Structure 1
Amino acid sequence: MEMKHAFVQNQDILGDLLIPDEKINVKIGLVWLPGLPNQPLMEDMTHQLVQQGFTVLNARYPGSWQSYGKFGPSTSVEGAKLGMELLRSGKTTDLKGMQQVLWDIDKVVLIGNSYGGAVALTALATSDLSDGAVVFCPMLDPAAQNENPNEPEEDLSTMYPFLKRCHENTFRDIDPQEWEDFIIGNHSCNPVTYIDNLARKPILLLHGKEDRSIRAWHTESFFEELREAGAKNAELHLVDGIGHGRGLRTTTQDLWVKWLKEHFS
């Protein structure tokens, strides 16, 4: 099937926009929000989905890769909102040839992985631009990382020096105080503070039971909080034999693609 591939911009964010053939268009736009560190274009979050009729935006977070501005949790959330705003517009300019591109969608859904899960759920809770979210092994409560000494996890305090040392030109101008506020839970990008709002939204949570970077119990607890707050459209899937990252997305793709089409087509 023919697809269009444009390189696009909305204020500080730049990224790849892939548009399906109109014959298979399910009229659902997806904004992909990756973890850290990341690559600009993930094939499992672009071409395969477009071939199933989705319009997909792989935008870089502000201050990362080709995007402008400064990188951090606050600007990442703003970048997610700029991505949704762009998809909602239905038209933009392809920077490769300065030609107009058009697309047709009815719904916009955020797809977040790990750090991107925190960004996706925060943007969902604080904006009316998204209709729902799918999150994989999400960072739901940074302050609770390594809370259980018997289940060690990724140490978020090492992420800032790692990005500064190894990816300084890719993730630029990170504010160390903002990162500290983020990892102690004193930051607006913190999904657990939006439970009541998120309980009204369609959300699919997926987590691998063998995840050692972010333990699955965080997602289980978050789901229970959503249910206690009255959530009717939240769904949780814990997957045997799967750890953190891409494997979770690829092994469950049939499940979450079906969920997207059932809820938003």
Structure 2
Amino acid sequence: MIAYVQHKDILGDLYIPAKEKNNGIGLVWLAGLPNKPMAEDMGKPLSDLGFTVLQARYPGNWQSYGDFGPSTSLDGAILGLELLSQGQTINLNNQKEVSWNVEHLVLVGVSYGGGIAISALGSTDLADAAIALCPLIEPEYQNTDPALPEDDLATLYPYLKRCHENVYRNLDEKEWLNYIQGNHIAIPANYLENLKEKPLLLIHGTEDHAIRHFHTQNFYNILKSFGSKKVGLHIAEGIGHGTELRTTTRDRWIHWLNELFG
């Protein structure tokens, strides 16, 4: 079943599995930039496997209300967790009540959304775990090695403002600058003490030229040095960024979830 739902500023698509298939795991999907509202491989296919999946828009993004930015993206991830934890809401398509049953809440993010997922895991007790695929973890170190060029976050701001102003509404230049300089609440390194106690799976491909996999390796090493025994790392050989990574590694991260909560 697919319902169109709202919780405060966020709106999104909620995929509810059949009762006989329900595995009790709810997933909050966090997309990259620039994103589309829905990722087909992260909705119905996962619901068919028993997951309850929320594909919510960030605040100020697509149909959601409010302003867009890294801080509101972090807020949006937590709002998604709040919604899934409620177990019922109104389907805006027909104004009828829908309900679901989840026992565990997991954040799943890719690229920009991967970094937001990690920060949200560290900043709230609502999430039981997170999966971060090719995450943007160290924006302050992005594209700083001339030998290993990456996507330039400094050019992303004017692109979003110029080409997607109605999709990323009221993005603040000062906040974006603070974010890409590493001085922001949405930076995962702010939450190392909390993250060391929580299950986190990091996945990155060796052929990712948008965000190099060494950032994820660095973060994994830092978490291990903080004493984390619940962080996992998978480096996918020969795999690039985004959709390719999450689809080719899907069996691995689904197995991780089933082992964690099975």
TM-score range, shorter chain: over 0.9
Q: Show the 5 A alignment for 1:203-242.
A: 203-242=200-239
Per-residue CA distance 1:161-198 (angstroms, 9 max, x = gap): 00111111111110010000000001011002222211
2:28 alignment partner, one of 27, 31, 35: 31
Q: Which runs of 5+ in 2 are unaligned?
A: none
Aligned partners of 1:8, 1:127: CA distance in 2, in Å? 22
Q: Show the 5 A alignment for 1:163-242.
A: 163-242=160-239
| Structure 2 length-normalised TM | 0.99
Cα drift, residue 66 of structure 1: 0.4
1:141 alignment partner, one of 107, 115, 138: 138
Identity of aligned residues (%): 53
The answer for the alignment partner of 1:13 in structure 2 is 10
Alignment pair present for 1:125 and 2:122: yes
1:152 alignment partner, one of 141, 149, 153: 149
Aligned partners of 1:244, 1:166: CA distance in 2, in Å? 22
| Structure 1 length-normalised TM | 0.98
The answer for the alignment partner of 1:74 in structure 2 is 71
The answer for the alignment partner of 2:261 in structure 1 is 264
| Secondary structure in structure 2 of the residue aligned to 1:108 | strand
Equivalent AA in structure 2 for residue 47 of structure 1: K
Equivalent AA in structure 2 for residue 27 of structure 1: G
Aligned partners of 1:222, 1:30: CA distance in 2, in Å? 23
Cα drift, residue 264 of structure 1: 2.0
Per-residue CA distance 1:197-254 (angstroms, 9 max, x = gap): 1111100000000111111000001001111111111110001111111000000110
Cα drift, residue 60 of structure 1: 0.2
Root-mean-square deviation (Å): 0.7
Q: Which runs of 5+ in 1 are unaligned?
A: none
Cα drift, residue 146 of structure 1: 1.8
Aligned partners of 2:26, 2:157: CA distance in 1, in Å? 32
Aligned partners of 2:9, 2:100: CA distance in 1, in Å? 21
Aligned partners of 2:248, 2:259: CA distance in 1, in Å? 19
Aligned partners of 1:264, 1:226: CA distance in 2, in Å? 22
Q: What number of residue pairs does the alignment pair up?
A: 262
Runs of 4+ in structure 1 over 3 Å off? none
